[in-house]
Amino acid sequence: MQSAPILEVRNLEKRFNMEAGFFARFGQFVYAVNGVSFDLFRGETYGLVGESGCGKTTTARLLLGMYGATAGSIVYQPLDGSGLDVCAMSKQELKAYREKVKYIFQDPAKSLNPRHRVRDILLSGPRWSRSWAGKKAALEEAAAILEEAGLAPSDLDRRPQDFSGGQRQRISIARALLMKPEILVCDEVVSALDVSIQGQILNLLLDLREKRGLSAIFITHDLKIACYFCDRIGVMYWGELVEEALAADFFQTASHPYSRLLFDSVSADQTTRAGEVQTPYTELTGCSFAPRCPYANDRCRMEHPPLRPGGAQHRIRCFR
């Protein structure tokens, strides 16, 4: 891990306007991301963990400029040291940035065009990039990367429906690698796969990260997988980080009641579950987790806790 991060996310917010449809009310919003701040260092994998609806996928898509941020900044630090705010990039700057930051989607069956052959899927990005060196050279590189991802060069002439779910995800990974990115954003990349295949894909990503020196944002709802795959973990609830810590010993150091609930869910202990993540239609006032927290008191319901240091490389948003 280097002293200078490759991505600096500061006070990131995203608010979706609900003014859609004839009966929509004026001034209603969904507060999807609420003041998220973290750093991603070179060669590091940072995990965003939480239940569905907590804002982790919206945060990831903000990092690529797929959504425009309501407030905050995302500063990308290339090797030349020139910091660039993704939220203020022009179309050309954003296009160049997206060549360095690639998104791998959750369901490869939906992200791969079933009418196209694998060669067309892989070359669709490089064909319009600044590094396009011709079809012959691109096909040779595509065959090599497909083999690196665990498939055969002959698979270039097949279509996505000819492959299993795990093989399709390997194609998605190869498509991302073909642009020689610096950062991979992996959005629930193993959640749609069988348990036996999940381990193969995770080990492939670990090998590629080590070999290519990649940084990664890893989104998952499974804390067990995050602790295995990531270097650091940020737990999200109601669009904000409630805890951040090193992944290696997070099972012992996790202190926030929501983090403990997620661990209990993994171990099939559902006794602490008090509800589900609700869609945030209002700005936060008290603690976002207070309605589900067994330790909540009047202060928690009235005052919003800050994200404060809780130890070495550990931050927690809790008054306890």
Q: Is 136 helix (H, G, I), strand (E, B) or coil?
A: helix
Q: How confident is the model at residue 275 (pLDDT cuts 50, 70, 90)?
A: very low
Instruction: Please report whether residue 173 resides in a domain.
Output: no
Looking at residue 20, its pLDDT comes to 59
| Residue with token string 């669009």 | 239
Instruction: Please report whether residue 189 resides in a domain.
Output: yes
Instruction: Please report whether residue 238 resides in a domain.
Output: yes
Looking at residue 271, its pLDDT comes to 42
Q: Is 292 helix (H, G, I), strand (E, B) or coil?
A: helix
Give residue 210's domain range: 5-113+183-316
Instruction: Please report whether residue 169 resides in a domain.
Output: no
Looking at residue 277, its pLDDT comes to 66
Instruction: Please report whether residue 134 resides in a domain.
Output: no
**Span 11-53, pLDDT tens digits:** 999 998 876 555 556 668 889 999 999 999 999 999 999 999 8
* C-alpha closest to that of 8 among 215, 227, 247, 304: 215
Q: How far apart are CA 206 and CA 260, in angstroms?
A: 26
CA angle 238-103-96, nearest 5°?
115
Q: How far apart are CA 67 and CA 69, in angstroms?
A: 6
According to DSSP, residue 231 is labeled S
The total domain count for the chain is 1
Q: How far is CA 162 from the centre of its chain?
A: 28
Q: Tell me the backbone φ, ψ of residue 69, rounded to 5 degrees.
A: -70, 140
One-letter amino acid at 172 equals: S
CB 282 within 8 A of CB 300: no
Q: How far apart are CA 205 and CA 174, in angstroms?
A: 11
Token representation of residue 297: 């008191």
Q: How confident is the model at residue 272 (pLDDT cuts 50, 70, 90)?
A: very low
**Span 93-104, pLDDT tens digits:** 999 999 999 999
Q: Which residue intervals of the chain are DSSP H helices?
A: 56-63, 91-100, 108-111, 118-123, 135-148, 165-177, 195-212, 223-229, 250-253, 257-266, 298-302
Looking at residue 21, its pLDDT comes to 58
Q: How far apart are CA 56 and CA 238, in angstroms?
A: 9
CB 172 within 8 A of CB 105: yes
Beta bridge partners of 308: 316
Instruction: Please report whether residue 176 resides in a domain.
Output: no
CATH number reported for the structural domain that contains residue 51 in this entry: 3.40.50.300
If you average pLDDT over residues 70-88, what whole number do you get?
90
pLDDT of residue 2 exceeding 60, the answer is: no
Q: How confident is the model at residue 7 (pLDDT cuts 50, 70, 90)?
A: very high
pLDDT of residue 79 exceeding 90, the answer is: no
**Span 169-227, pLDDT tens digits:** 999 999 999 999 999 999 999 998 898 899 999 999 999 999 999 999 999 999 999 99
Q: Which helix (H) or strand (E) holds 235?
A: strand 232-237
Instruction: Please report whether residue 227 resides in a domain.
Output: yes
CB 164 within 8 A of CB 196: no
**Span 289-305, pLDDT tens digits:** 999 999 999 999 999 99
Q: How confident is the model at residue 242 (pLDDT cuts 50, 70, 90)?
A: very high
Q: How far apart are CA 48 and CA 222, in angstroms?
A: 10
Instruction: Please report whether residue 66 resides in a domain.
Output: yes
Looking at residue 269, its pLDDT comes to 47
**Span 136-176, pLDDT tens digits:** 999 999 999 999 999 999 999 999 999 999 999 999 999 99
pLDDT of residue 89 exceeding 80, the answer is: yes
